[in-house]
Amino acid sequence: MTSPSPTRHSWYEESARGRLAHLLDPGSFTEFLGPERREFSPHLGLFNLPHQLDDGIIVGTGRLDGRPVLVAAQEGRFMGGAIGEVHGAKLTGLLRAARQMKRDVVILFDTGGVRLQEANAGELAISEIIRATLDARAEGVRVVGLLGGRAGCYGGGSLIAGCCSALVISEQGRLSVSGPEVIETNKGVEEFDSRDRALVWRTMGGKHRYLIGGVDLFVDDDVAAFRAGAVAALERPATLDQAVLTAEQARLERRLARFGDAADGTEVWARLGVAHPAGVPDLDTSAFLTIATRKREGADAAR
Amino acid sequence: MENLRYELSTTKPAGGTRAVGLVGVVASGNLEVLLERGEAPDRCVIDIATPAHGFAALWQAVTADFAVRMAAGGLRITINDGGARPDTVALRLAQGVHLMEKPE
Amino acid sequence: MRPANILSSLFPAGHDVTEAGGLLGGSGRLDPQTPVDVVGISGKTYPGVDEALALAGRILSIADRPDAAPLLFLVDSGSQRMSRRDELMGLSETLAHLAKALWRAEQAGHRTIGLLYGGSAAGAFIATALACGSLVALPGAWPEVMDLPSMARVTKLSLDVLTEKAAGTPVFAPGLDNLFATGAIAEIWDPDQPLCDQLKALLATTRDDDGRAGWGLERGGRVKAAAIAREVQRLALAHG
């Protein structure tokens, strides 16, 4: 999980279906409401936009290292993985089943957030997904999020991720509510220059999120590494009760007290005690993990 | 959206036993191709939905060539186009037929 | 309606709700036997990490109390605050934490009722009003996922074209009626009747599982969601 293998196979570059094929035990996957069922968005035609037969999300069941899991994978290349009525309802249904079955769930995030052409339905779907996620977690179900897709995990998608019991990220994974372009459009280039890719990684990229305890595991951009990460994340506790949320409150307050006036990711990392913060973006996974595991803020299951 | 349908005579029946296959995604310059069985073995029906209007002649040429060259008999094919070039369309159709030949 | 009028109509027996920094906090009494906790976001405030954490902290301490007093969340916000600092500090975690706190309060026996009386948008709407167990609104409330001019920029359609399309479907355009039609909102209250009676009536109903997709179907604003979710759930259970 930490050393780049010679036969590295990019998670970022894979399709949603390709990722599922590599994540799950061979031949174990069964899709629910697959493309042949033609449950696509009824709203895109209004905008002369093509639909996709699975509405950009694949939901189903399979085995991960022998363990039965429910899975959902967003396709970031179709409309940026955006969440519309059907897309969202597929995930809601899966999570409701997870609660009833007490079956763990793995979500392969790859989304820009709400799909604007069906914004109200998408927004509401996200709220329903969040409630279904929390209701499932109340029954002890683990909901693991994998963050390494090309569309990142933005908008309402990032709030769903924030409700997962454990998160796995790669350097390429970006996790934030407002994306760089959205901040720049609304607040100006002085607030956020979306073309400054290094700034994007330092502010919302996988390394920063791992260092501040926003995620639990950091892996290579590799399908096998994500599989190993998912297996490890499924071993983490999923309890969601008053004590966990009180601990999360304290954890997030401590973060603000410690770093709230930092101007940049590098300043946060310096305060964590990272010796050469400016060099962090250039570190390979194993060098990064050597430093990060000693210096990072852990979430300690307060999630 | 423009919807096109081609009902083509084929020379070779599709191989394999897989019931359904899907290749590609609906993205700029790309397309998804869903393949199902259920037509007569000497026939292939292709339904296309495309946001690019006025390219029926091109679609007709690509699909006719596909029906002649590939073992597509018996297939019902659904295409959702994201504005793909003809060579990409031909590639995805060929990938789809190969996928149907593979064991599940 | 303004917060002061809303609070006096809700709590004829008095309240001690105060506003500071765009956030509301305090409690009131529907009648001498029925205390209600109040939190809120007012004045079109854009919640960032600080506001979200402050609200979550208050809600969690209410959840931790042994009583079952309802919790009313008054909402007049902007979208989430859009800034480099908020994202650097993990706004997604913080807003999710706020949604979790509201869920937890409901779990712990406090009915959580969102009262949308002004604006709300995007991530802020998800983490506040939509995260309450029940959401009601007053006429004049203006929920939006994204305003039409911004949507026009992103979709590269003119504002005229978008406005024309919006007339035919509630699925994408901002506004209370559209959000109501998709099932986001349980009831739109009558500002000319005492709000305390309308709140009491709502509290007298039992709230069970998330029924918002069912409302979307009944009201014609979101007709596929309920059936799709049910079918996936059925298939998963059947597979075992």
pLDDT in tens, C110-135: 999 999 999 999 999 999 999 999 99
Minimal Cα distance from B1: which residue of A?
A48
Pairing of strands A143-147, A166-170: parallel
pLDDT bin (cut points 50, 70, 90) of residue C198 is very high
Closest by Cα among A130, A45, A117, A40 to A80: A117
How many contacts, defined by CB atoms under 8 Å, are there between A and C?
A: 273
Q: Facing residues of C114 across strands? A: C73, C135
Interface touch A70/C236, C-beta < 8 Å = yes
Enumerate residues 105 to 124 of chain C having a beta carbon within 8 A of any beta carbon in chain A: 107-108, 122-123
Please give, one letter per residue, the 3-state secondary structure of chain A. Answer: CCCCCCCCCCCCCCCHHHHHHHHCCCCCCEEECCHHHCCCCCCCHHHCCCCCCCCCEEEEEEEECCEEEEEEEECCCCHHHCECHHHHHHHHHHHHHHHHHCCCEEEEECECCECHHHHHHHHHHHHHHHHHHHHHHHCCCCEEEEECCCCCEECHHHHHHCCCCEEEEECCCEEECCCHHHHHHHHCCCCCCCCCHHHHHHHHEHHHHHHCCCCCEEECCCHHHHHHHHHHHCCCCCCCCHHHHHHHHHHHHHHHHHHCCCCCHHHHHHHHCCCCHHHHHHCCHHHHHHHHHHHCCCCCCCC
Alpha-carbon distance C156 to nearest alpha carbon in chain A (angstroms): 11
Q: Facing residues of C71 across strands? A: C37, C112
Question: Tens of pLDDT along B14-71?
Answer: 999 999 999 999 999 999 999 999 999 999 999 999 999 999 999 999 999 999 999 9
| Residue B74 structural domain | 2-101
Picking from B25, B49, B51, the nearest residue to A75 by CB comes out as B25
Interface touch A77/B30, C-beta < 8 Å = yes
Displacement of CA A8 from its chain's centroid (Å): 21
Q: Which residue has the tokens 């969690």?
A: C60
Question: Tens of pLDDT along A182-193?
Answer: 899 889 999 999
Question: Tens of pLDDT along C151-170?
Answer: 888 788 899 999 999 998 99
Please state, in angstroms and rounded to a whole number, the distance separating the CA atoms of residues C126 and A114: 11
pLDDT at B39: 94
Interface touch A78/B26, C-beta < 8 Å = yes
In degrees and rounded to multiples of 5, residue B6 shows phi and psi of -125, 125
In degrees and rounded to multiples of 5, residue C208 shows phi and psi of -115, -135
- Per CB-CB distance under 8 Å, the chain A contacts of C177 are none
Please state, in angstroms and rounded to a whole number, the distance separating the CA atoms of residues A174 and A172: 6
Alpha-carbon distance A228 to nearest alpha carbon in chain C (angstroms): 24
pLDDT at C207: 79
Interface touch A120/C104, C-beta < 8 Å = no
Question: Tens of pLDDT along A245-270?
Answer: 999 999 999 999 999 999 999 999 99
Interface touch B26/A51, C-beta < 8 Å = yes
Minimal Cα distance from B50: which residue of A?
A50
Interface touch A17/B22, C-beta < 8 Å = yes
The answer to whether B68 touches B26, Cβ cutoff 8 Å, is no
Please state, in angstroms and rounded to a whole number, the distance separating the CA atoms of residues C217 and A119: 16
Picking from A42, A61, A265, the nearest residue to C239 by CB comes out as A61
**C222 half-sphere exposure, CB direction, 13 A CA radius:** 35
Residue C227 has pLDDT above 70, yes or no: yes
Residue A1 has pLDDT above 50, yes or no: no
Alpha-carbon distance A147 to nearest alpha carbon in chain C (angstroms): 14
The whole-number average pLDDT for the span A270-289 is 97
Total domains in the fold of chain B: 1
What is the CATH number for C188?
3.90.226.10
Can you tell me the ipTM of this complex? 0.98
pLDDT bin (cut points 50, 70, 90) of residue A5 is low
Please state, in angstroms and rounded to a whole number, the distance separating the CA atoms of residues C126 and C79: 10
Pairing of strands A105-109, C23-31: unpaired
The answer to whether B100 touches B14, Cβ cutoff 8 Å, is yes
Minimal Cα distance from C58: which residue of A?
A249
Question: Tens of pLDDT along A202-225?
Answer: 999 999 999 999 999 999 999 999
Residue C1 has pLDDT above 70, yes or no: yes
Residue A150 has pLDDT above 90, yes or no: yes
Please state, in angstroms and rounded to a whole number, the distance separating the CA atoms of residues B4 and B23: 19
Q: Which two tokens stand for residue C224?
A: 């596929």
Neighbours of A5 (CB within 10 A): 11
Interface touch A51/B78, C-beta < 8 Å = no
Please state, in angstroms and rounded to a whole number, the distance separating the CA atoms of residues A238 and A139: 9
Alpha-carbon distance C12 to nearest alpha carbon in chain A (angstroms): 33
Residue A4 has pLDDT above 60, yes or no: no
What is the CATH T-level fold of the domain A16-295, as seen in this structure? 2-enoyl-CoA Hydratase; Chain A, domain 1 (3.90.226)
A165 Cβ neighbours under 8 A, 6+ residues apart: A137, A142, A143, A144, A236, A237, A238, A240, A303
Q: Which two tokens stand for residue C35?
A: 């205390």
Interface touch A78/B27, C-beta < 8 Å = yes
Closest by Cα among C179, C146, C175 to C78: C146
Residue positions counted in chain B: 104
CA distances from A165 to A59, A299, C103 (A): 19, 11, 15
pLDDT at A6: 61
Q: What is the mean pLDDT of chain A?
A: 96
| Residue C226 structural domain | 3-239
Interface touch C216/A128, C-beta < 8 Å = no
Total domains in the fold of chain C: 1
The residue ranges of DSSP E strands in chain C, in sequence order, are 18-20, 23-31, 34-45, 71-77, 112-116, 119-121, 134-137, 142-144, 187-188
pLDDT bin (cut points 50, 70, 90) of residue C31 is confident
pLDDT at A300: 81
Enumerate residues 126 to 155 of chain C having a beta carbon within 8 A of any beta carbon in chain A: 126-127, 130-131, 145-146, 150-151, 153-155
Please state, in angstroms and rounded to a whole number, the distance separating the CA atoms of residues C156 and C164: 15
Q: What is the DSSP letter of C130?
A: G
Domain ranges of chain A: 16-295
Alpha-carbon distance A14 to nearest alpha carbon in chain C (angstroms): 25
Please state, in angstroms and rounded to a whole number, the distance separating the CA atoms of residues A253 and C68: 27
Please state, in angstroms and rounded to a whole number, the distance separating the CA atoms of residues A47 and A45: 5
C160 Cβ neighbours under 8 A, 6+ residues apart: none
Minimal Cα distance from A303: which residue of C?
C97
The whole-number average pLDDT for the span A119-129 is 98
pLDDT at A2: 47
C201 Cβ neighbours under 8 A, 6+ residues apart: none
- Per CB-CB distance under 8 Å, the chain C contacts of A33 are 228, 231-232, 235
Pairing of strands A166-170, A153-154: unpaired
The answer to whether A124 touches C88, Cβ cutoff 8 Å, is no
Residue C85 has pLDDT above 70, yes or no: yes
Q: Let me know if chains C and B touch, i.e. at least 3 Cβ pairs under 8 angstroms.
A: no
pLDDT at A146: 98
Residue C147 has pLDDT above 90, yes or no: no
Residue type, A134: L
Question: Tens of pLDDT along B69-87?
Answer: 999 999 999 999 999 999 9
Alpha-carbon distance C14 to nearest alpha carbon in chain A (angstroms): 30
Q: Which residue has the tokens 């035990």?
A: A25
CA distances from C186 to B77, C41, C211, C212, C213 (A): 44, 20, 9, 8, 11
A253 Cβ neighbours under 8 A, 6+ residues apart: C53, C57
Neighbours of A187 (CB within 10 A): 15
